[in-house]
Amino acid sequence: MNGIYAAEDGQNLTSNNNITHTTTNNITTTQSSSSENNAKYYEYQTDVHAAGEGTPSFTNQQITQAAIDVKKFLEGNKYLPEYITINGIVVNQATFLQLLTQTTIKINNSDNTTTPLITVNQPPAGTETTTPRTLTQTEYLTMAQNIANYIIDNGRAPSTVGTVFGNIKFQSLLYLYSRALNMHETYGALPT
């Protein structure tokens, strides 16, 4: 369990705008490029809540399970789902990246507090230019903190993240952190 690859063999990761995805919790959502077609997604992403309803939050385990589902979906279908369901709440890819990075950091710090749902906007298109290499735990944890800081400062996910071996695009970051949490679930520790 040494390190984690940013992408496998030059894989070109894309998104699909219309898919139906069933999670291991047997929650099926039809995903569309229009957030208006998904009331729960639209409601939470615009911070409109019913009276007395607080901001949703997720446990590390709920986010890890969603990461496992996304990894399986991507490896089986060769594209990323446009929206991801976590504990019955649908989020966009950018919000999912924020949740993935926060959970990775929390797991590393043995922090079991929940992570609140925040609105994160999708990034513009980015270009990946990397030399194949394995990220160390220190590198992907530092990168997770940098991504979290970027999201807080800009209200959107980064289109690319610079590393010592080049730029990693947004879609590859989703896969990278989904794989890291999958490995944590499988082996009981984050990849080293």
3-state class (DSSP) for residue 190: coil
Tokens of 34: 């229009």
Query: pLDDT digit string (tens) for 76-95?
Result: 999 999 999 999 999 999 99
**C-alpha–C-alpha distance, residues 128 and 110, integer Å:** 32
Contact criterion met (CB below 8 Å) for 179 and 104? no
Residue 20 has pLDDT above 90, yes or no: no
Domain ranges in the chain? Answer: 17-187
CB 7 within 8 A of CB 135: no
- What's the pLDDT at 50? 58
Q: Residue 82 to residues 38, 114, 134, 190: CA-CA distances in angstroms?
A: 12, 24, 27, 26
Q: Are 171 and 157 in contact (CB under 8 A)?
A: no
How confident is the model over 131-181, as pLDDT tens digits?
888 899 999 999 999 999 999 999 999 999 999 889 999 999 999 999 999
Tokens of 163: 């590393």
DSSP designation for 53: P
